[in-house]
A and B are shown apart, each in its own frame.
Chain A
Amino acid sequence: AQKVTQAQTEISVVEKEDVTLDCVYETRDTTYYLFWYKQPPSGELVFLIRRNSFDEQNEISGRYSWNFQKSTSSFNFTITASQVVDSAVYFCALGPGKGDDKIIFGKGTRLHILP
């Protein structure tokens, strides 16, 4: 079965602090994709990153970075020098797998950046 676990339900940090959002996944597929989405209060799902299961290179995009560790089935997301505009719910997601269309989302982590 496919599963995504985001153990942190809610995190609060003060602006300019770094924060890491954890994501652990389970899958039997050898080919899969991992995603991070941001959902601000307005409700839309903002795509942040898609990572192929064969590409374990870490990625940095501005203040955002992702650490993909296949050995521990983790795909953690770090925001450096956080800003108030980063406040949102962040979803880690998995899929689709072979013969399976759907994306499986984690429960999300609500991030509060305090001024």
Chain B
Amino acid sequence: AAGVIQSPRHLIKEKRETATLKCYPIPRHDTVYWYQQGPGQDPQFLISFYEKMQSDKGSIPDRFSAQQFSDYHSELNMSSLELGDSALYFCASSLGPEVYNEQFFGPGTRLTVL
């Protein structure tokens, strides 16, 4: 069965550069979630989208922005990168944001900021 696709899987950037992470949800899934997992940390919720509208927001820095497109894929844009942004970024998708809809996680994008 098709799973959540994230690209790229690995990304290396310099400080102050920008990065764009992409997430392709499972077909027919209309809700996307972004999580950030720092080294040795638990995943932290950043932001979510349902039907191309932001549905919930967590601890996402102002330097980050995200959107969901008409085909339901989502992009996380990160500007003025800092060393502390080095982390594993997970995307998850679900069919609807309701409480009973399971979130399926992608394999993650590992971002390293040098």
Chain A interface residues (CB < 8 Å from chain B): 31-33, 37, 43-45, 47, 50, 52, 91, 96-98, 100-108
Residues of A within 8 A of B108 (CB): 43-45
Total inter-chain residue pairs, C-beta < 8 Å: 56
- Are B99 and A31 in contact (CB-based, < 8 A)? yes
B44-101 with Cβ < 8 A to chain A: 44-45, 48, 50, 55-56, 58, 88, 90, 92, 97, 99-100
Known: A97-B99, A107-B42, A108-B42. A102 touches B33 (CB 8 A): yes
- Are B55 and A45 in contact (CB-based, < 8 A)? no
Contact residues of B: prevailing secondary structure: strand
Residues of A within 8 A of B41 (CB): 107
- Are A102 and B56 in contact (CB-based, < 8 A)? yes
Chain B interface residues (CB < 8 Å from chain A): 31, 33, 35, 41-45, 48, 50, 55-56, 58, 88, 90, 92, 97, 99-100, 102-105, 107-108, 110
- Are A102 and B45 in contact (CB-based, < 8 A)? yes
Residues of B within 8 A of A37 (CB): 105
Interface pairs (27), CB distance under 8 Å: A32-B99, A33-B100, A37-B105, A43-B88, A43-B110, A45-B43, A45-B90, A47-B104, A47-B105, A50-B102, A96-B97, A98-B99, A101-B31, A101-B45, A101-B55, A102-B33, A102-B45, A102-B48, A102-B58, A103-B33, A103-B35, A103-B45, A103-B92, A103-B103, A104-B45, A105-B44, A106-B42
